Structure 1
Amino acid sequence: MLTALTVPLVLATAAALAVLGWPQLFRLQNTWVAAHAVSLRGLEAAVAVGAVVLALVLLLFTRARPLRRLLGALIVLLLLFGAGNAGLLIVRGLGTRVPATAATATATETTDAVTVLSWNTLGDAPGAAAIAALALEQGADVVTLPETTEATGEAVAEAMKAGGRPMWVHTLAFDQISKARSTTLLISPDLGDYRVANAAGSGPPGNTNVLPTVVAVPADGTGPTIIAVHAVAPIRFEMSNWRSDLDWLATQCGGGNVIMAGDFNATVDHLSGREASVGAVLGRCRDAGLATGSGAVGTWPAFAPALLGAPIDHVLSTPNWQTQSMRVIETEDAAGSDHRPLVATLSPAP
């Protein structure tokens, strides 16, 4: 009986591992289950190693030839699956384990560089003082803060002003019931005056469906459009809204001069199919993490080892910007948020 089932079992396992390892091949990267699995490639690789060890132990104590053949085939498939995930993580970049302050080192090399800090604060959890201290440490010109209220944003700006780096505050809130439904964007006056283009009742460009995204445009038309992103998570009953959010964000990244950062609740695997040019990951925007060898470092959840987490927070920009540096900051894992902050320094492309 086992012999008759060996081939179907092996084929079914191979198909399942193919879907979990590269759902884009089957256009399943934005579907429930596959979307969750592929977001945790490091964990997938670790589970594959554990399964191989278990299968090897069973193989040592098994004398039945059909079962040994089945275990042997499963070991080969799991090794391929684990190696494929690990290889892709290496290609996307495992980051560097150096102090976060090193992220600002290149900022002084280019006077017109823009340093972007992004941190989903889980409803103001780290507190204004900690957020401001990190932004000042990094020399941030732009700070995107999903799940951060206007009051906290203003307190951060006040603390940054006291630290010699004043900021304008722009907040959109869908309601005052949940802090998760507020997103705050801080912009240095050095970048010029900005206005929010997608406030309630303003018409196009619209917004993400469940959690607010702030689209700020330069008042005089000179400078980049700056977008603080918060797409909804791909939980079972929000899958349609999640896909719609990513589609809308792709259209926002279709312009000629855009800097976009925040919590996309999506890895580059999920963004696949929404790129509009070679080298882009979303619309015309490129990912700072991929550009600097940090694309596989997990930003969520903060309690998990970074290489086992999901890189769902990003800094993206159109091709007129080049990435000088990008780093996921791991020193704030105990600050209270479930996300790690990340910081990138961009400069105008030559």
Structure 2
Amino acid sequence: MTSRVAGCVVAGVLSAVVALAAVWPRALGLADRYGPAQVVAMRGVVVLAGLVLLAALLATARWWRRSRPYVLTLAAVTGVATACSAVILLVRGPADDPLDAAARGDLTVLTFNTLHDGVAPDAIAALIDEHAADVVVLPETSRATTREAARIAGGFQVFHHTVDSITSATGLLVADRLGRYEPLVPHPGGALGSFTVRPRAADGVPITAVHAYPPASGAMQLWRTDTAWAVRACRQARGGIVAGDLNATVDHPALADAEPCVDAAAARDAAATGTWPADLPRWLGAPIDHVLVDARTWRVEAFHVLDARGGSDHRPVVAVLQRRP
């Protein structure tokens, strides 16, 4: 009997550590490590997998009586972990502002990873016109597509930076009404075309267009560097705006504490709304496309995750900002 109790305790402790690594890896210092970093980005999938595993464990406990104490211990840990992840999703907000809310602001930011020009210039321009976007960030978009979308939409300054391929090509459109901007400054060491543009006017809006490296095997340090740089770009630019595909969520270290900047989705209780991959339901996807703003200057009036379009595997996102008095 004593050995069975000890076995249950060991099983419970080990499964609890694994569950914590999946649900809240920051507690173990693993949120930026390969494995936990990918798992925690897909909280919806974690909840779904947890429910399936829980059902399997309960069925096993019913038919496998000899191992029932161990299985029920694992089931209890799985149930608690799944419930915790579900609560986190609900608290962060699995939905965004309804588009018919017609929120008004001083500045509208649109970001859309078009997946190697998977979205035609006229479709991008229509999106810009539909939401009256003033700042448009287009990761994985060629110079030609960026320029043509700007020409069709009209009234934009065009910036573009390519490192070595269309995957590392990022476009930026800035409305003429925001004033003139200096030539872009590339992210030093950035592999996927991130850059900053600074206004010539002292009261202008510094803008950073981001495409961070994904947290792939063998590239975790590149990912850490890119995401940390994006948040730092927002912190160091008074009134700044950072937007794009950050390949990170608010569970990851760089975005977990971005003060004095805020994530527009989190500010509008939409930080659990998945933007990638677009063929999964929103509650299952990873919210990796962001608009970060200096909260000392801007208030987020609305945030929208739009429907997928064209051939992109990302959903476009729109943030409506109001300048603070």
- TM-score after normalising by structure 1: 0.87
Give 1:202's aligned residue: none
Matched with 1:209 is 190
What is aligned with 1:38?
Answer: 40
Structure 1 residue 93: deviation in Å?
Answer: 0.8
| Change beyond 3 A, Cα 1:55–1:282 | same
Letter in 2 for 1:239: M
Is 1:267 the equivalent of 2:249?
yes
1:313 aligns with 2:289: yes
Distance 1:63 1:254 in 2: 57
CA distance in 1 between partners of 2:27 and 2:18 (Å) = 12
For residues 1-350 of structure 1, the aligned pairs below 5 Å read 3=4, 5-64=7-66, 67-96=67-96, 98=98, 100=99, 102=100, 105-107=102-104, 110=105, 113-161=106-154, 166-175=155-164, 178-199=165-186, 206-207=187-188, 209-255=190-236, 256-272=238-254, 281-319=257-295, 320-330=297-307, 332=308, 334-350=309-325
What does the per-residue CA deviation read over 1:245-274, in whole Å, with 9 as the maximum and x for residues that have no partner? 1222222122321111100000011135x6
Q: Which amino acid aligns with 2:283?
A: L
Q: Hey, what's the Cα distance between the residues in 2 that align with 1:338 and 1:197? A: 27
Identity of aligned residues (%): 35
How many residues are aligned here? 321
**Matched residues in 1 for 2:124 and 2:74: separation?**
48
How far apart are 1:97 and its partner, in Å?
A: 7.9
| Cα shift readout 1:299-347 (whole Å, capped 9, x = no counterpart) | 01011111111001111100110000001112x2x52111110001001
Matching residue's letter, 1:172: H
1:20-73 deviation per Cα after TM superposition (whole angstroms, max 9, x unaligned): 111111111110001001000111011000111111111222222xx1111211
State whether residues 285 and 316 of structure 1, in contact with CA within 8 Å, keep that contact through their aligned partners in structure 2. yes
Which runs of 5 or more residues in structure 2 are unaligned? none
Letter of the aligned partner of 1:304 in structure 2? Answer: L
TM-fit CA distance, 1:196: 3.1
RMSD after superposition: 1.8
Q: Distance in 2 between matches of 1:191 and 1:261?
A: 17
For the 8 Å contact 2:92–2:266, the answer to whether it is kept is yes
Deviation at 1:229, TM superposition (A): 0.8
| 1:95 counterpart letter in structure 2 | A
TM-score (norm 2): 0.94
**Offset, 1:208:** 5.2
For residues 211-259 of structure 1, the C-alpha deviation after alignment (integer angstroms, 9 at most, x for no partner) is 1112011012321101111100000111111111122222212232111
User: Equivalents in 2 of 1:310, 1:43: separation in Å?
Assistant: 9
- Residues 172, 182 of structure 1: 8 Å contact kept: yes
Distance across 2 between alignment mates of 1:245 and 1:196: 21
1:233–1:242 contact (8 Å) kept in structure 2: yes
Give, as a single letter, the amino acid of the residue that structure 2 aligns with 1:174: V
Is contact 2:96–2:305 with CA below 8 Å preserved after alignment?
no
SS where residue 241 of structure 1 aligns?
helix
The CA distance in 1 between the partners of 2:127 and 2:112, in whole Å, is 10
Specify the SS of the correspondent of 2:114: coil
SS at match of 2:224: helix
In structure 2, give the amino acid aligned to 1:21.
Answer: V
Q: Write the distance in 2 (CA, Å) between the matches of 1:159 and 1:76.
A: 57
Q: Does structure 2 conserve the Cα–Cα contact (< 8 Å) formed by 1:41 and 1:85?
A: yes
**1:283: Cα distance to partner?**
5.0
Measured after TM superposition, the shift of residue 183 of structure 1 is: 0.4
Gaps of 5+ in 1: 200-205, 276-280
8 A Cα contact 2:62 2:68, kept in partner: no
Three-state SS of the structure 2 residue aligned to 1:56 is helix
Question: For residues 317 and 146 of structure 2, what CA distance do their matches in structure 1 show?
Answer: 18
Letter paired with 2:322: S
